[in-house]
Amino acid sequence: MPSYVSSSKVERAGTDVLVVHCSSSRFQAGLHDFLNQGLNLRSNYDLLVIPGGPQCLTLIEYLPKFSWAGWKWFRFLVETHELKRLILIAHQDCSWYKDLPLHLHTASDARQRQEEDLHRAKAKLTKEFPHLRVELYYAAWDSSGRVTVEAV
């Protein structure tokens, strides 16, 4: 393919929203729907997609360099783009959590560990950026395989 021209035009309005979620291919289409239809963001948001998603903000003792990079990206986006709203999404059956040692959390249940991290990240973000509105969500799938998202 020599070149490709999208039917989408460049977004010139700017945004004050940052979304952070995991890289898992299984959830990309469902999360795209949730953000654009469910939250009505109309594809106008900054997006940070990394393994484990917002979990990178809670690894200061266990993986300090990884945590440092996560915070560096957050600070850059929040300050440079003057963000006001942060949407953090964890998801069911996240492979990233399967490699984490259990001692990092108070619970052994995967979802509880993820929710614990979402709340830890929110507490740290709210302390560092008091003007930010931080929303927490958990994505899963129902018996038909449809992606579901609920507030945490």
Q: How far apart are CA 36 and CA 44, in angstroms?
A: 9
**Which listed range, 15-23, 68-76, 77-85, 141-149, lies at the site for Zn ion (CB under 5 A)?**
15-23
Considering CB under 5 A, how many residues would be counted as binding Zn ion? Answer: 4
Among 15, 18, 20, 24, binds Zn ion (CB under 5 A): 24
**Alpha-carbon distance 58 to 18, whole Å?**
18
Q: Pairing state of beta strands 85-91 and 46-49?
A: unpaired
Paired strand residues for 148: 140
Q: Does 22 bind Zn ion (CB under 5 A)?
A: yes
Chain position carrying tokens 């952070």: 20
Q: Which stretch binds Zn ion (CB under 5 A): 1-9, 13-21, 59-67, 91-99?
A: 91-99
The interface region with Zn ion, picked from 20-28, 36-44, 76-84, 134-142 by CB under 5 A, is 20-28
Q: Which is nearer to Zn ion, 74 or 97 (CB)?
A: 97
Q: Where are the alpha helices (DSSP H) in the chain?
A: 28-33, 64-80, 95-98, 110-128
In the complex with Zn ion, which residue's Cβ is closer, 22 or 78?
Answer: 22
